[in-house]
Amino acid sequence: MASLAFRSVGKTYRIQSGPVQALQDVSFDIADGEFVSIVGPSGCGKSTLLKMCAGLVPRSDGDILVDDRSVTGVQTQMGVAFQDSLLLEWRSVLRNVLLQIESRKLRIEDYEQRARDLLETVGMESFADAYPGQLSGGMKQRVALCRTLVHDPSVLLLDEPFGALDAMTRDQLVLDLGKMWLETRKTAVLVTHSISEAVFLSDRVVVMSGRPGTILDIVSIDIPHPRGIAVRESPQFVEYVTSIGRYFQS
Ligand SMILES: Nc1ncnc2c1ncn2[C@@H]1O[C@H](COP(=O)(O)OP(=O)(O)OP(=O)(O)O)[C@@H](O)[C@H]1O
Ligand SMILES: [Mg+2]
């Protein structure tokens, strides 16, 4: 159970050459169990917004509320997957997934079966004892997704979790993620450069402007779940993708 609220959130980074205003006056709410994606040009503050939500970066203005409580420190109940979250090469797949449990000082035995079940959901069960160096890029991303989910987080913050993958692998992982989300209905925030991925997975898509990032629009995606891959060819889906894409045509 977790709802999020962003209230007039702003962020200015102070670097040697002067202040950089990354975000300005960002306000929106995310309901418990809702899947929201954020799309916007590079450098508009999407990663910054997720990091502030996770309590990893302090905000400069406004407030971020998790279940009506202001974020003041690191939010350990959240499951976070960042743009370049890598696996530890010297640990097996299973032990990479269980890293979250170890770092939270929870009992490994209580979570091993869950870790194996998650690996099975993404077709990786037979690689539990393999090492990251023996996996393809897409397989590593699948393991990273399991690691994000293993401690049963109340909120998922996903920052381009499939960034560097080829289109086919990415499609499969998007389906995996959609399936996992439907099974658990966690509150989820996904940052992605793919408008079609955002529309496919989300209840709502937040469209942001270039830096300083502000909200241009919030689009409700009125397509029932579960969404099969064929949904992407429906006129309704295409219309959503086209209308959001218009914000980024110059
Ligand atoms: N630690 C930091 N120190 C100083 N400036 C930063 C820092 N992190 C981000 N910025 C600046 O804040 C702005 C927003 O960065 P952010 O990484 O949030 O953008 P983004 O929307 O995630 O971009 P991308 O789509 O390329 O990942 C950029 O101008 C960046 O230079
Ligand atoms: Mg980013």
Cα 102 to Cα 12, 73, 76, 98, 158: the distances in Å are 34, 20, 13, 6, 21
- pLDDT tens digits, residue range 136-193? 888 888 899 899 989 889 899 999 988 767 788 888 889 988 988 998 899 999 999 9
Structure confidence by residue, pLDDT tens digits, 135-149: 988 888 889 989 998
pLDDT score for 54: 93
Instruction: Show the ligand 1 pocket: residues with CB < 6 angstroms.
Output: 13, 15, 20, 22, 42-48, 211
Looking at the CA of residue 48, tell me the nearest atom of ligand 1: 18
Question: CA geometry: angle at 78 spanning 72 and 83, to 5°?
Answer: 100
pLDDT at 216 over 80: yes
**Tens of pLDDT along 8-31?**
999 999 999 999 999 999 999 999
Q: Is the Cβ–Cβ distance between 85 and 56 less than 8 Å?
A: no
Task: Return the pLDDT at 18.
Answer: 93
Question: Distances from the Cα of 82 to the Cαs of 7, 144, 154, in angstroms?
Answer: 23, 10, 17
pLDDT at residue 1 above 80?
no
Are 57 and 13 contacting, i.e. CB atoms less than 8 angstroms apart?
Answer: no
pLDDT of residue 84: 65
In order of their start, the domains of the chain are 1-77+155-165+185-250 (3.40.50.300), 84-153 (no CATH)
Rounded to the nearest whole angstrom, what is the distance from the C-alpha of residue 78 to the centroid of ligand 1? 21
Q: How far is the centre of ligand 1, averaged over its atoms, from the C-alpha of 48 (Å)?
A: 6
pLDDT for the residue 83: 67
